[in-house]
């Protein structure tokens, strides 16, 4: 870290039924280095520690009938009250399949905060009063269902923490990543230049940086149009780029 870096840290409190699931991901690579440097702090809270039920139950059958079990509001509320004694201003997020989409824009918004609480859902769902009264927002990492919110919480911590200044070594690399400008990232290549007849595009080894940037933009447009056409509606295109996509 250079002397000109402005040091900033982000703190996550994660409320979960399975705190042991987080042992590996937060002790590897970029996240581990961020923890060692004090830029990322993670505190885990076992939800069963906050239930008054003598059996440690945190769920019950849903009113009105239906399959499965629903997580109770009481232990979640008690856990949040305990967390917010230390961090009264923490931004609180419920992770569930029915939440609003978590994307790069949202990751960047969250990276501006200093204290975030993540609540991991489980079973058939969580008492709706949690989303209505206890949290600031309800987020989903995609249109699919996981066994619980733990994996979603790991994804959110990773995506948000790497946007905190100093966590990623080269800040310029963040600007070129997928979704930062609305596009998927352009294709990347490295040595060898020719592998079993598969060659790197000639322009990338030409040394002409203006042509390289033009190629990267065109390649990113083509890749996005092919793999994520839903993103293209918000991308401003020149007349030449529209023709390019018609021909691709």
pLDDT in tens, 129-144: 999 999 999 999 999 9
Residues 118 and 217 in one domain: no
Mean pLDDT value of segment 21-32: 92
Residue 177: what pLDDT?
62
- pLDDT of 14 over the 60 cut: yes
Residue 1: what pLDDT?
43
CATH number assigned to the domain comprising residue 217: 1.10.1270.20
Q: How many domains does the chain have?
A: 2
Residues 74 and 189 in one domain: no
Residues 156 and 48 in one domain: yes
Cα separation values, 237 from 105, 186, 217, 232, 247, Å? 20, 16, 11, 9, 15
Residues 115 and 237 in one domain: no
Residue 5: what pLDDT?
52
Residue 103 maps to a domain: yes
Structure-model confidence comparison of residues 135 and 65, the more confident one: 135
Residues 27 and 141 in one domain: yes
Which domain-ending residue is among 110, 130, 161? Answer: 161
Output the pTM of the full model.
0.89
Largest interatomic CA distance in the chain: 71
Residue 1 maps to a domain: no
Domain region containing 180: 176-247
Mean pLDDT value of segment 83-94: 97
């Amino acid at each position: 870290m250079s002397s000109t870096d402005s040091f900033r840290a982000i703190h996550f409190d994660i409320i979960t039924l399975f705190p042991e699931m987080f042992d590996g991901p937060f002790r590897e690579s970029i996240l581990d280095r961020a923890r060692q440097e004090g830029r990322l702090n993670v505190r885990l809270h076992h939800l069963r520690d906050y239930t008054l039920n003598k059996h440690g139950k945190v769920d019950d059958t849903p009113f009105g009938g239906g399959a499965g079990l629903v997580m109770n509001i009481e232990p979640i509320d008690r856990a949040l009250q305990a967390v917010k004694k230390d961090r009264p201003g923490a931004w609180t997020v419920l992770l569930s399949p029915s939440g609003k989409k978590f994307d790069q824009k949202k990751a960047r918004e969250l990276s501006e905060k200093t204290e975030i609480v993540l609540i991991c859902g489980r079973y058939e769902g969580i008492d709706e009063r949690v989303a209505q009264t206890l949290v600031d927002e309800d987020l989903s990492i995609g249109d699919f269902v996981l066994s619980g919110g733990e994996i979603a919480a790991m994804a959110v911590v990773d995506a948000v923490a790497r946007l905190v200044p100093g966590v990623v070594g080269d800040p310029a690399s963040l600007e070129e990543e997928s979704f930062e400008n609305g596009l998927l990232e352009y294709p990347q290549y490295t040595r060898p230049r020719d592998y079993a007849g598969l060659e790197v595009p000639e322009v990338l080894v030409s040394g002409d940086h203006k042509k390289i940037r033009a190629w990267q933009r065109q390649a990113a447009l083509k890749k996005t149009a092919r793999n994520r056409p839903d993103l293209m509606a918000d991308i401003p295109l020149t007349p030449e780029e529209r023709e390019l996509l018609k021909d691709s």
